[in-house]
Amino acid sequence: MNTHKPSASAAATVSRPVVQSQQLLGGQRQIVIEHHGERYVLRETSQGKLILTK
């Protein structure tokens, strides 16, 4: 069994795209995201947090 985990610094070097929440929400408080035929709601709470629900 391989128990080797990459170090935190190795994981930090992996490049991932960054999308600003404002780009996704487009000024709205919630949007519907379709993923593999399923619909999810991404909404911003009154405290500015994001919640994704099915």
Instruction: Quote the CA–CA distance of 17 and 40 in Å, as a whole number.
Output: 21
Domains recognised in the chain with CATH numbers? 23-54 (2.10.70.10)
Percent of the chain with pLDDT over 90: 74
pLDDT at 32: 98
Are 52 and 35 a contacting pair, CB within 8 Å? no
pLDDT at 9: 61
Report the predicted TM-score, pTM, of the whole model to 2 decimal places: 0.69
Question: Using one digit for the tens of pLDDT, what is the confidence trace for 6-27?
Answer: 666 666 678 999 999 999 999 9
